[in-house]
Amino acid sequence: MKSILIAMLVAMTLPFGLATPACAGSGDVVVENAWSRASIGTSRPGAAYMDIRNAGDEDVTLTGLRTDLAGMPEFHLTSTNNQGVSSMSPVGEIAIAPGETVALAPGGMHAMLMQLRRPMEEGGTFPLTLLFSDGGEVTVEVPIRGIAARGPDD
């Protein structure tokens, strides 16, 4: 059963890059529907979105991000108050309970990619590594859509 599950997870993860399951908890994390928007040059920050699912039976905690694309990648939350004013602030750790999915989506959380080291070109991809509190890492290859993309299939 366990091996079937692992095979399933590997199969589901493959289109998005190779997961590196170092630990039982974060090793059961599945990332789906990853996407980002192209950038104009490198002066503006980018953002990436995805669904992060804890397919295991232990709590996992996301602690940060790493990518060679950006000098300062960080989880951010956009919030809009009842006056319609939007603001964006860094998120600390993100806990994901077993069976739950955290969505990074426009208007909610995003992987903020500050200090781009190269332009994000439409049609390309870049590797983004999710870091977990148990020392595990999951690397996904994030597709880059157009600047006006509204989702992973645009």
Partner 1 sequence: MRRRSVLGYGAAAFGVIGMTLFAGWWRVDGPGAPQAVGARPLPLTEMEFSLTNHEDRTVGPETLIGSPTIAFFGFTYCPDVCPTTLADISDWLDALEGDAEKLNVVFITVDPERDTVEAMAEYVDYFHPAIRGWTGTERQIARAVEGFRATYEKVPTESGGYTMNHTASVFLFDAQGRFVSTIDYHEPREFAVPKIRRAMNDEEAEGA
- Of 144 and 149, which CB lies nearer to partner 1 in the complex structure? 149
13, 26, 49, 76: which one binds Cu ion (CB under 5 A): 76
**Residue 110 in the binding site for partner 1 (CB under 8 A):** yes
Amino acid at the residue 33: N
Identify the bridge partners of residue 29 per DSSP, sorted by sequence position: 54
Q: Coil, strand or helix: which one is 141?
A: strand
98 binds partner 1 (CB under 8 A): no
User: Is the Cβ–Cβ distance between 137 and 74 less than 8 Å?
Assistant: no
Tell me if 10 contacts partner 1 by CB under 8 A: no
Judged by CB under 8 A, which of 8, 14, 18, 103 binds partner 1?
103
d(Cα 130, Cα 19) in Å, to the nearest integer? Answer: 10
Residue 86 and residue 101: Cα distance in Å, rounded?
24
List 125's β-bridge partners, or say none: 143
When asked if residue 112 is in the footprint of Cu ion (CB under 5 A), the reply is yes
101 binds, among partner 1, Cu ion, none (CB under 5 to 8 A by kind): partner 1
Give 2's DSSP letter: H
Q: Taking the complex as a whole, how short is the minimal distance between the CB of residue 133 and Cu ion, in angstroms?
A: 22
**SS3 of residue 61 by DSSP:** strand
Binds Cu ion by CB under 5 A, chosen from 14, 72, 88, 95: 88
By CB under 8 A, tell whether 60 contacts partner 1: no
What distance in Å separates the CA atoms of residue 112 and residue 114, rounded to the nearest whole number? 6
Binding site for partner 1 (CB under 8 A): 37, 40, 43-47, 72, 76-80, 82-88, 90-97, 100-103, 106-110, 112-115, 146-150
